[in-house]
Amino acid sequence: MPTLERLRPDHAPALLAFERENRAFFAASIPDRGDDYFTGFAARHAELLAEQAAGMHHFHILTDGGGAVLGRVNLVDVAEGSADLGHRIAERFTGRGLATSAVREVCALAVTEYGLITLRASTTRDNKGSRTVLARTGFVEAGTTTLMGKPGLRFDRDLTAPCRAATAT
């Protein structure tokens, strides 16, 4: 059974394997992390954990219970009761509801553990999977943006209101 865990130092090897294995899949719909991300992974991982400890971000991984990473859901740029949500699921685990479940769980943690009241998210218009997850977890379309030079959509989630899933577009 998949388990959501707060990012820890010992997650580094499995997280790096997850990112390498799914790099091309992710780069098809979101900006590629670039080669430096992979060559400097250990230092970047330590930096992110320090930023998490300082309350700047809240990183989570979805594991299979055996140590493999199935996905991640992050809350970044935490300030004044809000944060930006990002999520990614391994290509071989898409379409199973894992992202929806993990995002719902992180939305609950955002309120109960991190004291947040609003979340923001963005995705390209052609990323139907991400738009569906956001709609199912109570995010509402809030405007347009550009990601990787592609037209995108911005979404907001009021965490003080009940989660009323919208119909995916």
CATH of the domain at 107: 3.40.630.30
pLDDT-derived band at 166 (thresholds 50, 70, 90) equals low
Counting residues of the chain whose pLDDT is more than 70, the rounded percentage is: 96
What's the confidence (pLDDT) of residue 165? 57
Does residue 73 lie within any of the structural domains?
A: yes
Q: Identify the residue whose tokens are 């809240």.
A: 58
What's the confidence (pLDDT) of residue 167? 46
Does residue 163 lie within any of the structural domains?
A: no
Asked whether 132 and 103 are in contact (CB, 8 A), the reply is no
Q: Which amino acid is at 10?
A: D
Does residue 65 lie within any of the structural domains?
A: yes
State the pTM of this model.
0.92
Range of the domain at 99: 3-158
Does residue 34 lie within any of the structural domains?
A: yes
**168 pLDDT above the threshold of 90:** no
Number of domains in the chain: 1
Query: Is the dihedral angle over the CA atoms 125, 132, 105, 61 positive or is it negative?
Result: negative
Residue 156 CA to residue 36 CA, distance in Å, equals: 31
